[in-house]
Amino acid sequence: MRAIHFMMIDYIKVKQQLYFMPLFIVIALVLWGQGFSFLMPFSYMIFVAIIFATAPFGACKRGDAGFLVLLPSTAAHRVMGRFLYGMSFAGLAVVCSGIFMAYYQITGYEIETWTVAVSLFILAFCILVITLEFLLLYLVGEHLAPQLLGIVRVAPAMASFFAIMYVMDDVKEMGNISMDSSVGLSIMYHMGSEMVQIGGIAVAAALAIWAAAIVICVKVTKRRDFV
Q: What are phi and psi of 155, to 5 degrees?
A: -60, -50
Round to whole Å and give the CA distance between 110 and 28.
20
Round to whole Å and give the CA distance between 154 and 166.
18
Q: What is the pLDDT of residues 116-136, one digit of tens each?
A: 888 898 899 999 999 998 998
Residue 171 and residue 118 in contact, taking contact as beta carbons nearer than 8 Å = yes
Q: What is the pLDDT of residue 168?
A: 62
Q: What is the pLDDT of residue 215?
A: 94
Q: What is the pLDDT of residue 2?
A: 78
Q: What is the pLDDT of residues 136-161, one digit of tens each?
A: 888 877 665 556 666 766 777 777 76
Q: What is the pLDDT of residue 113?
A: 78
Q: What is the pLDDT of residue 68?
A: 60
Q: What is the pLDDT of residue 34?
A: 65
Q: What is the pLDDT of residue 11?
A: 84
Q: What is the pLDDT of residue 143?
A: 62
Alpha carbon dihedral 128, 126, 90, 22, in 10-degree steps, equals 140
All residue ranges of the chain with pLDDT < 50 are 177-185, 187, 227
CB count within 10 Å of CB 30 equals 12
Q: What is the pLDDT of residue 13?
A: 79
Q: What is the pLDDT of residue 146?
A: 58
Q: What is the pLDDT of residue 96?
A: 81
Closest alpha carbon to 48 in 161, 186, 201:
161
Q: What is the pLDDT of residue 18?
A: 75
Round to whole Å and give the CA distance between 110 and 162.
26
Q: What are phi and psi of 53, to 5 degrees?
A: -60, -35
Q: What is the pLDDT of residue 87?
A: 92
Q: What is the pLDDT of residue 173?
A: 58
Closest alpha carbon to 93 in 46, 154, 30:
46
